[in-house]
A and B are shown apart, each in its own frame.
Chain A
Amino acid sequence: MSLRSLALGVLALAQLPLLTAQSPGSPVLIKDARIVTAAGPVIDKGSVLIRNGLIADVGPSVQAPAGAWVIEGAGLTVYPGLIDALSSWGLPSAAPTAGPAGASAGARAQAQPAQPRSRGPEDRPQTSSWVRAADLVQASDRRLDTARSAGFTTAVTFPKDGIVAGHGAAINLGGATSGAMVLDASTGLYVAMRSGRGGGGGGFPSSLMGVMAYVRQLWMDAQWYKSALETYEKNPQAGPRPAYDRAAEGVLAARRVLLPASSRVEIARMITFSAALKTPVVLYGGHEAFRSVDLIKAANLPVIVNVKWPTKERDADPEFKDTYRTLETRDKAPSSPVELAKAGVPFAFTSDGLDSPADLVKAVKKSIDAGLKKEDAIAALTINAARIYSLDRRIGSIETGKIANLAVVKGDLFDASSKVEMVFIDGVKYAPAPEAPAPAGGAPGGGRRPGDAAENNDEVNR
């Protein structure tokens, strides 16, 4: 293991001079394309100039500087690079979070000795609030290729094991090193209201009320910890020092908290809960936002809508009757963004992982068919996500000075026949993976650096 990572490190080092020489190199001009800026009206025929990894200029008439590499944009549409607002791309599938918390995946159970069953909140079960996705990013994640092929350039990626899983990071879906991929190392704390029953943890908390009480306690502990530290700092002679509490440290470091809210009852519950937190809240899930928009609007919380819409179970019992409510949810979940847009609630999308690049467009198309305006759909995939995470000064639209994260599409993104021709990430071009991702021997996409390909084949071949 260590030998291997050493070897990879050496490999990466060896390539570094080559990469730095190449990426900021010559400017790129995408000429005479349709430009959906997400920051104003669509430019029907215009150009985008990329230089030093940033958008140097955009408009109907941008001149190509000398030595620029010109891409003829006829028939192409340029979008801001798509952002997946809640992802696990770029992270190892079972993140090696340390400590007694969050032992759920089988892989981890092998890696670590079994933890004693937790009996109460004092054991801090299912918590790894100190884990930071930014520290775990792997440039070699094979899923990045699929994501880029769908037009994604950025993901806000989170550790997801346990109840308080850890801090997310906004990452670009390509870069010379793991570190180069990170846009923001502290996008918020991911919380899942899941039972400690089942999985490796066992024990407390096993019931929903137990989970809720536990998370409340954790936040109170963090507040108490903060004031105890302040008191101690003022006068260390006055009493014993408070013990270092990494769980509380992690909670206090959160700039925002992501709370699960898919069904109406979950949405109502999390809205009530959010009032008790001292941290801004983002709701995620949102499948039943179509029947909860009143609650969300009143609470004024942004929502990350999961576009992996509920479907009929595979291999379902043919004589089992779904309830009307289930059928309605299945039917109307894609109209949730429509209702949110109507109510003026800020929302972004998560693809919740993609099995194939085409899935994203198919899923968002359902919302468009249900009445979502295309510009709202684009905003949800770009500038809205950037705003929710306060990244909108840097990404989310095609404006001068922003990072050159672009998706170049043949035709309109939401046409069934559309095709992502290329994406730019920090100004570096990536071509999509070949169609129909064959499990064996798929050639790496053009424009990828040889080092990446080698790493991929080495690391992630199943």
Chain B
Amino acid sequence: MRLSLFMTAALAAATLQAADNSFLLRNVTVHPVSGPDVSNASVLVVDGKIAEIGAKITSKAKVRVIDAKGLHVYPGMIDAGTMVGIAEISSVRETTDYNEVGDFNPQLRSAVAVNPESDHIPVTRANGITSVLVLPATPGSGRGGGGGFIQGQASLMHLDGWTWEEMRVEQSAAMMMRLPTMSAAASFDPATMQVRRGSYSEGRRNFETQMRTLRGFLEDARRYRTAKLAKDASLKTDLRYEAMLPVLDGKSPVLINAARQREIRTAIEFAAKEGFRLIVAGVRDPGDQLKVLAEKKIPVILGSPYDTPLDDDAAYDEPYTLAARLNDAGVKFCFASFGAQFARNLPYQAGQAANFGLPKDVALKSVTLNAAEILGVAAKAGSIETGKLADLIVTDGDPLEIRTQIKMMFIEGRQVDLESKHTRLYKKYLNRP
């Protein structure tokens, strides 16, 4: 009862704020990411967009003034791969809406499945994340992850809005795919109680068979496109082939999870052969493909470094230094949590990489501007520049540091509530008699 009253109040507050998307933020240090920091400056936001940045604001617009003396402004962070909004409790079927069955589902749009009331949304926002790329299937390479080859459209969503339409930044930021793998099915050996790897030749055969299926579908999609361009009147609309058109035209990239050297090589060769724009996600052990990624300017989405190395003999810090190695090789990358409840840890993924050799400015870029560029939305997000959407966070320090507090958040200029289930529980238990 008390809780529902509280929530009603919070909703009312959000409604009021939503109406107001213009303001002047004063006395702050601006970290635009796209350029050098500016201290003692102001940021003017008009109608949800950044209008002006500088020590002296020339515009005479009458807006709400927010004095944030001593605080810092950063662009809101972007998590480039999550299940936020489509997976509430992953083990409860009714609360999840991803991983469709079937090999080819390009027509699926994850944006429409997003629940604006998800409890994960305010929790994720609390650490400074304003947008997330919502994936239509569990990411994972090899035998991990959701099934199918073409899994659907990944949508970039703001973490604020009454409906999914309001939250939507880019509905088709990437087409999520999973390529067949060459490793054969492992089996449990009861005698040794260990998992035994399948035979390589069997794995290869499966791989070739599955690739043939995949190529067959892509050929059908191309024939559909040709017929459509020829204005063939007999052509029956097929949502799957329609959804493939931007991919075939090279407008929309494919996002392929590939952890190891061979998976990455397979993905690169596949994309080159099909003429697709490629984003490689979930890179963990790129091996000799690191150079190729750099040469071909293929961007990468990295997962969490808080993991053990893939191989037993690898250095303990291999996951920590991966980002720095990519950066040294000249590969552009951003970070993703690839989850729902831990999406809030995104800034600390970049922070950990910064502690292990990644320059701090690149670390910050990897959760802001790089993500926007990789996902094709750099014209409107990812940095504090005039004309871009006012997705901003106001902090008392470096947002990649755990102790830093997010004091204010703006999404398209609307000030967003920073309360979440965590803060509610915090307050509740603080008052425990």
Contacts and interface: CB of A to CB of B under 8 A. Distances in A.
B311 A197 contact: no
A324 B182 CA distance: 23
Interface in B161-204: 182-183, 187-193, 197, 199-201, 203
B290 to A, nearest CB: 15
A113 interface: no
B193 A208 contact: yes
A122 interface: no
A377 to B, nearest CB: 27
Contacts of A104: 190
Nearest to A211: B193
B188 A198 contact: yes
B238 interface: no
Contacts of B182: 317
A451 to B, nearest CB: 37
Contacts of B262: 319
Interface in B190-222: 190-193, 197, 199-201, 203
Contact of B190 (A199, A314, A317): A199
Contacts of B260: 319
B200 A195 contact: no
Contacts of A319: 260-262
A159 B261 CA distance: 45
Nearest to B182: A317
Given A317-B182, A319-B261, A323-B311, A195 B193 contact: yes
A315 B196 CA distance: 13
B312 interface: yes
A194 interface: yes
B190 A194 contact: yes
A243 interface: no
Contacts of A208: 193
B183 A198 contact: no
A104 B190 CA distance: 10
Interface residues of A, number: 24
B232 interface: no
A103 to B, nearest CB: 12
Nearest to A266: B192
A211 B190 CA distance: 11
B361 interface: no
A438 to B, nearest CB: 27
Contacts of A321: 311, 313
Contacts of B200: 315-318
A323 B190 contact: no
A342 interface: no
A345 to B, nearest CB: 24
A195 B190 CA distance: 5
Contact of B313 (A196, A199, A314, A323): A323
Contacts of B313: 321, 323-324
A185 B313 CA distance: 48
A435 interface: no
Contacts of A197: 188, 190
B316 to A, nearest CB: 15
A298 B197 CA distance: 36
B181 to A, nearest CB: 11
B197 A194 contact: no
B311 to A, nearest CB: 6
B190 A198 contact: yes
A244 interface: no
A198 B260 CA distance: 30
Interface string A307-341: 00000011111111101110000000000000000
A453 interface: no
A372 B26 CA distance: 83
A192 interface: yes
Contacts of B311: 321, 323
Contact of A320 (B192, B197, B201): B197
Contacts of A193: 193
Contacts of B193: 193-195, 207-208, 211
A332 to B, nearest CB: 17
B201 A323 contact: no
Interface string A290-319: 000000000000000000000001111111
Interface string B298-312: 000000000000011
9 contacts: A192-B191, A194-B191, A194-B193, A197-B188, A313-B197, A317-B183, A318-B200, A319-B261, A323-B313
Give the top 5 A-B pairs by smallest Cβ distance, nearest first.
Answer: A198-B190, A195-B190, A323-B312, A315-B199, A317-B200
Given A196-B190, A198-B187, 6 more contacts: A192-B191, A211-B193, A315-B200, A317-B197, A324-B312, A324-B313
Interface of B: 182-183, 187-193, 197, 199-201, 203, 260-262, 311-313
Interface of A: 104, 192-199, 207-208, 211, 313-321, 323-325
